[in-house]
A and B are shown apart, each in its own frame.
Chain A
Amino acid sequence: MPESIDRPLLPEERRLRLLLRILAIAFTLAIFAYLLPALVGGWRPAWLQLPFVTNSVVKIATLGLLAFVASGDVRRFRALVLILIWAHAVSELAMVACLIWADLAAPLWQAHLGMSMTATLWGAMALDGVILVLLIGAFTAADRAHYELHYLSPLEFRSLCALADVVVEGRDERITPEDIARNVDRYLGSFRARRKWLTKLALTGLELYPLLSWLAPLSYQHREERAAFVRRCLYQDVDRRLLPAWFRTLVQGMSRLANQLTYLGYYNDPRTFESVGYTPFLSRPDTPARLAQDPPPPRRPLATLSPADVRQETLDADVVIVGTGAGGSILAHELVRAGLDVLMLERGPHYDPSEFNEDEVDMLGKLYADGALQLSRDFRFQVLQGSCVGGTTVVNNAVSFRLPDRVLERWNDRDQLDARIDEREYRAAEDAVWQLIHVTEQDHRHLNPSGYPIHAAIARLGLAGSPNRSGPVAANIAGCLGCGYCNIGCAYGKKLSMLDVVLPLAQQAGRGRLRILAGCDVGRLEATGKRITAARCELSDGRTIRVKGRTFALAAGAVSSSLILLRSSIQSRRAGRELCFNIGAPVSGIFPQPIRSYAGLQISHYVDLEPSRGYVVESWYNPPVAQALTMPGWFEDHFEHMRQYDRIASLGVLVGSESNGRATTGGLTGREIQYEPTPGDLRKLLDGIVLGGRILLEAGCRPVMPHTFRLRRYSTPAELETFPASVRDHADLTIGTGHPQGGNPISARGDRGVVDPDFRVKGYANLFVADASLFPSSVGVNPQITVMSLARYGARFVAEAAGRAG
């Protein structure tokens, strides 16, 4: 393992050295203390009968030698200190065992020393205990200081270094494993999240996992042995399903998390950019021209409150809206225009777009829920959600689809959920939203460069004509510069998100009636009978406050809104159930020449077949970190693919899932997402991936690679057709979502749903829901327009209730 050996010793390391020197001397003296009574004095007869003296002399001499050598260079001989700690811990355990089970009535001992064996053992335990505590304290302090860690412990840090050393594998590596681990530590230290400790668990598990195979911990293995171990135990055993299912889930989850951290640490480092052919937007040669042609528009100001602005323990408003994302912002916009006094509570922070930068990892930590680490219970399904003022619209791709007729029909089906959404009013709301956020077809110069050959391939395959729909996407984007950073926040005011447009407009229209409190996490609600009276919140500075209101609306997004209900014991039997998603599965292809897919709008083209096959295919590309996180292949394969980053194009297959997911307050973090795709959804995914692969092949890519656990490459359509048969279940695929929906579905039925058709939570007079959790089923297309339109449609119900309450 590389170490920064040449730096001078830090004060903590010098303290450890001093302790080791003292111990070396003490242990040496102890040798004589053991031997002398055997040679001289009245204790001799008793001593000669004690067989353990020899062992003790050997032990103490060895420990002395270890301490002596380790004190010579505490960095290089770090492992010796660990052995010293280990020896003392074992010694303590052995003495406890003796106290419990051994026959300690040695009469000679008592007679000559005037002390019982039991008392002697207690004394020895106390002495060893003190040494143990001192050693652990000094060692941990020295390790922490040495690595200058923000979040990880030295053990986790070393585990990550060890993994990075073998996972990022190929010619021309640009940064060291230690650099990678340091980048990761900086990232993990940069945001607050409940699930962050899972990364610690994964790295600790990884370090100790080799012990099960009777091998040294990961960071203590030789590189070759370690590489072989990682290949065999983290990859092959999982792929061949040699482990029991529950254990395989754990191992796969652990390795997924740890691998992702590694890629994140490597590919976010600007020193690696050139090797993958990536140029950040501000360094691209044509950027000044693009900026001159489409300069950023003047910013609309948005005033928010932070916890520091909140002095009192109770706040008050006509309407309290939880969440400032797609649903919450549109609702607030409507309510302030209706003359109501609105207070929005947002868990995430408020960043002005001018604070957005090109550092992917920095932005992931700042703008996403759980720093983008949110996974389902089996660690196999990533659920991305924004967490900042503006919600997920700050990090989304702005792709806009109207709610398909067939979906609205299903929602309103009297034999199903019977949502009773008035179609005419809903469509009017949709039109209004479309206009408010300026949705237009994106036919400008700066689309994803891979979108053009992909679009041509769709046409050649005969998929472009009616009744299919295809072409450039519609989006709430104006004057796009094609920087490719939609998922880490648009710094140029081009994406007309809630943060950029709707909230500032609402605040302007409201003339002081719209307040937004950022850094305020709503835990649960309080009620008197059927009326909600207050929300209990935790501020980001650790204080708790109560926010009183006359009317409350939950717009915390799918998952979170259900969890607030569950934590409040509201609709406990139904909230969180019927959770669904647009599951995304990517497929990538390598072009023979550079196409720089990253240098344009991330999602630019799509194809939606009619009659629907249950999926939409969209062109898709990411800056290097996000791309690396899902890039197929392990070790050198992954590395080689990333080296061809500027020649790769990707398509995303979106499948509207069945409603078999569930959000619960259980699990390790009190926030658990349970989900596995049904066989039907898996079939649709595979069908979509094959179609995506065919489009990429037609566009000229060779090979194409569905994003799978085991790398699979296909160079002809005939080969590609064999792909579905190679997939046993979803564990073989890389799947995830940015579109969680449902959990609090609307239904007029008494025996189903959480929310009535007037958006009121069943059984409560003044509690409403206005976000993606309302969906009775997955929409199957990008959902933001539906979320916003539903919020606008439902605003009149909230306004009526608030008006009455006022």
Chain B
Amino acid sequence: MERILGPGNTIVHYLWVLVVYLMMLVLMRYGNQTVELSYRRTRAFLIWTLGPIVFIANWLLFRAGAMSFLPWLNNVLHALVWVGVGLTFLYAGCRTRAGWEQFALFAVFSFVVKVAEHLLLGTWEHDNFFGIPGQTTYMAGWSALDGLLPFVIPVVLRQVARIVPGIMP
């Protein structure tokens, strides 16, 4: 059970995490209420691909020693719900903004969620980020890397659009 929930965690802790995700989504909706119809298929594609990729990547990075262990439920929620649904929604809304804005939005939202998970579940506990010491550095570092997602996603989407109709970078 510990490997699923994390030491000392209960389902209630996870419910609070979901509340944090929800609050982030509400915040995001201020900037963009709906996803444009032409982008719906792309959003669906991102939800179904980005989430699983991040899930696997988190585990592999843990095995590689670059990340701390995320209990399975935490990884599932973080990858599939937060990254899959939340960050995809954020991307659909901000992808036409200036690059630095997209970076800032992704990095800040990711940082807030990591801190929340750290406080609620005790996860994201690591003393360095690729050798740079500090717990906060670790969370900030990974958040900054998340900030690069809006630059990676369109590159991938452009390739996918060649074979899957209706996908837009």
How far is the CB of A299 from the nearest CB of chain B, in Å?
Answer: 41
Q: Quick check: B34 and A527 within 8 Å, CB to CB?
A: no
Q: In the docked arrangement, what's the CA distance between A663 and B89, Å?
A: 25
How far is the CB of A324 from the nearest CB of chain B, in Å?
Answer: 24
How far is the CB of B46 from the nearest CB of chain A, in Å?
Answer: 13
Given that A528-B165, A528-B166 are known contacts, is A763 also in contact with B38, CB under 8 Å in the complex? yes
5 A–B pairs (Cβ distance < 8 Å), ordered by A:
A527-B38, A529-B165, A529-B166, A569-B37, A763-B38
Q: In the docked arrangement, what's the CA distance between A525 and B42, Å?
A: 17
Any B CB within 8 A of the CB of A572? yes
Q: Quick check: A568 and B37 within 8 Å, CB to CB?
A: yes
Most chain B C-beta atoms within 10 Å of own C-beta, residue among A569, A573, A763: A569
Q: In the docked arrangement, what's the CA distance between A763 and B168, Å?
A: 11
The contact string, 1 if C-beta is below 8 Å from chain A, for chain B 29-41, is: 0000111111011
Any A CB within 8 A of the CB of B105? no
**A570 is contacted by which of B37, B165, B166, B168 (Cβ under 8 Å)?**
B37
Given that A529-B167, A529-B168, A531-B166 are known contacts, is A569 also in contact with B35, CB under 8 Å in the complex? yes
Q: In the docked arrangement, what's the CA distance between A526 and B36, Å?
A: 11
The contact string, 1 if C-beta is below 8 Å from chain B, for chain A 558-569, is: 000000000011
User: Which B residue sits closest to A530, measured CB to CB?
Assistant: B38
User: Which A residue sits closest to B35, measured CB to CB?
Assistant: A569
Any B CB within 8 A of the CB of A764? yes
Given that A528-B41, A529-B42 are known contacts, is A572 also in contact with B36, CB under 8 Å in the complex? yes
Q: In the docked arrangement, what's the CA distance between A572 and B166, Å?
A: 19
Residues of A within 8 A of B (CB): 525-531, 568-573, 763-764
The contact string, 1 if C-beta is below 8 Å from chain A, for chain B 151-169, is: 0000000000000011110
How far is the CB of A371 from the nearest CB of chain B, in Å?
Answer: 31
**B34 is contacted by which of A528, A569, A763, A764 (Cβ under 8 Å)?**
A569
Q: In the docked arrangement, what's the CA distance between A530 and B161, Å?
A: 12
Q: Quick check: A525 and B37 within 8 Å, CB to CB?
A: yes
Given that A528-B165, A529-B165 are known contacts, is A569 also in contact with B42, CB under 8 Å in the complex? no
How far is the CB of A672 from the nearest CB of chain B, in Å?
Answer: 16
Measured between beta carbons, the chain A residues less than 8 angstroms from B41 are 527-529
Interface of A is mostly: loop
Q: Quick check: A764 and B33 within 8 Å, CB to CB?
A: no
Q: In the docked arrangement, what's the CA distance between A573 and B38, Å?
A: 14
Complex A-B, nearest 4 residue pairs according to Cβ-Cβ distance, in ascending order:
A529-B166, A528-B166, A569-B34, A569-B37
How far is the CB of B108 from the nearest CB of chain A, in Å?
Answer: 23
Q: In the docked arrangement, what's the CA distance between A529 and B37, Å?
A: 8
Measured between beta carbons, the chain B residues less than 8 angstroms from A571 are 36
The contact string, 1 if C-beta is below 8 Å from chain A, for chain B 16-38, is: 00000000000000000111111
Interface of B is mostly: loop
Q: Quick check: A569 and B36 within 8 Å, CB to CB?
A: yes
Measured between beta carbons, the chain A residues less than 8 angstroms from B40 are 527, 569
Most chain A C-beta atoms within 10 Å of own C-beta, residue among B33, B37, B42, B168: B37
Q: In the docked arrangement, what's the CA distance between A549 and B29, Å?
A: 32
User: Which B residue sits closest to A764, measured CB to CB?
Assistant: B38
Most chain A C-beta atoms within 10 Å of own C-beta, residue among B33, B35, B40: B40
Measured between beta carbons, the chain B residues less than 8 angstroms from A570 are 36-38
Q: In the docked arrangement, what's the CA distance between A568 and B37, Å?
A: 6
How far is the CB of A735 from the nearest CB of chain B, in Å?
Answer: 31
Q: Which of B110-169 contact A (CB under 8 A)?
A: 165-168
Measured between beta carbons, the chain A residues less than 8 angstroms from B35 are 569
User: Which B residue sits closest to A765, measured CB to CB?
Assistant: B38
Q: In the docked arrangement, what's the CA distance between A744 and B35, Å?
A: 19
Measured between beta carbons, the chain B residues less than 8 angstroms from A525 are 37
Q: In the docked arrangement, what's the CA distance between A569 and B39, Å?
A: 10
Q: In the docked arrangement, what's the CA distance between A526 and B41, Å?
A: 11
How far is the CB of A725 from the nearest CB of chain B, in Å?
Answer: 43
Q: Which of B1-57 contact A (CB under 8 A)?
A: 33-38, 40-42
User: Which A residue sits closest to B42, measured CB to CB?
Assistant: A529
Q: In the docked arrangement, what's the CA distance between A763 and B95, Å?
A: 14
Q: In the docked arrangement, what's the CA distance between A570 and B35, Å?
A: 9
User: Which B residue sits closest to A565, measured CB to CB?
Assistant: B37
How far is the CB of B37 from the nearest CB of chain A, in Å?
Answer: 5
User: Which A residue sits closest to B164, measured CB to CB?
Assistant: A529
Q: Quick check: A763 and B166 within 8 Å, CB to CB?
A: no
Q: In the docked arrangement, what's the CA distance between A572 and B36, Å?
A: 7
Given contacts A529-B166, A529-B167, list 15 more A-B pairs with CB under 8 A: A525-B37, A526-B37, A527-B38, A527-B40, A527-B41, A529-B38, A529-B42, A529-B168, A530-B38, A530-B168, A569-B34, A570-B36, A571-B36, A573-B33, A764-B38
Measured between beta carbons, the chain B residues less than 8 angstroms from A569 are 34-37, 40
Q: Quick check: B168 and A572 within 8 Å, CB to CB?
A: no
Q: In the docked arrangement, what's the CA distance between A569 and B33, Å?
A: 10
Measured between beta carbons, the chain A residues less than 8 angstroms from B34 are 569, 572
User: Which B residue sits closest to A533, measured CB to CB?
Assistant: B166
Measured between beta carbons, the chain B residues less than 8 angstroms from A529 are 38, 41-42, 165-168
Measured between beta carbons, the chain B residues less than 8 angstroms from A527 are 37-38, 40-41, 166
Measured between beta carbons, the chain A residues less than 8 angstroms from B168 are 529-530
Q: In the docked arrangement, what's the CA distance between A764 and B166, Å?
A: 11
Q: Quick check: B33 and A572 within 8 Å, CB to CB?
A: yes
How far is the CB of B23 from the nearest CB of chain A, in Å?
Answer: 23
Measured between beta carbons, the chain B residues less than 8 angstroms from A526 are 37
How far is the CB of A458 from the nearest CB of chain B, in Å?
Answer: 51
Q: In the docked arrangement, what's the CA distance between A299 and B166, Å?
A: 47
Measured between beta carbons, the chain A residues less than 8 angstroms from B38 are 527, 529-530, 570, 763-764
How far is the CB of A765 from the nearest CB of chain B, in Å?
Answer: 9
User: Which B residue sits closest to A529, measured CB to CB?
Assistant: B166
Measured between beta carbons, the chain A residues less than 8 angstroms from B42 are 529
Measured between beta carbons, the chain A residues less than 8 angstroms from B36 are 569-572, 763
Most chain A C-beta atoms within 10 Å of own C-beta, residue among B36, B40, B41: B36
User: Which A residue sits closest to B161, measured CB to CB?
Assistant: A529
Most chain A C-beta atoms within 10 Å of own C-beta, residue among B34, B36, B38: B38
User: Which A residue sits closest to B36, measured CB to CB?
Assistant: A569
Q: In the docked arrangement, what's the CA distance between A619 and B40, Å?
A: 51
Q: In the docked arrangement, what's the CA distance between A529 and B167, Å?
A: 6
Q: In the docked arrangement, what's the CA distance between A527 and B167, Å?
A: 11
Measured between beta carbons, the chain A residues less than 8 angstroms from B33 are 572-573
Most chain B C-beta atoms within 10 Å of own C-beta, residue among A525, A527, A531: A527
Q: In the docked arrangement, what's the CA distance between A525 and B36, Å?
A: 12
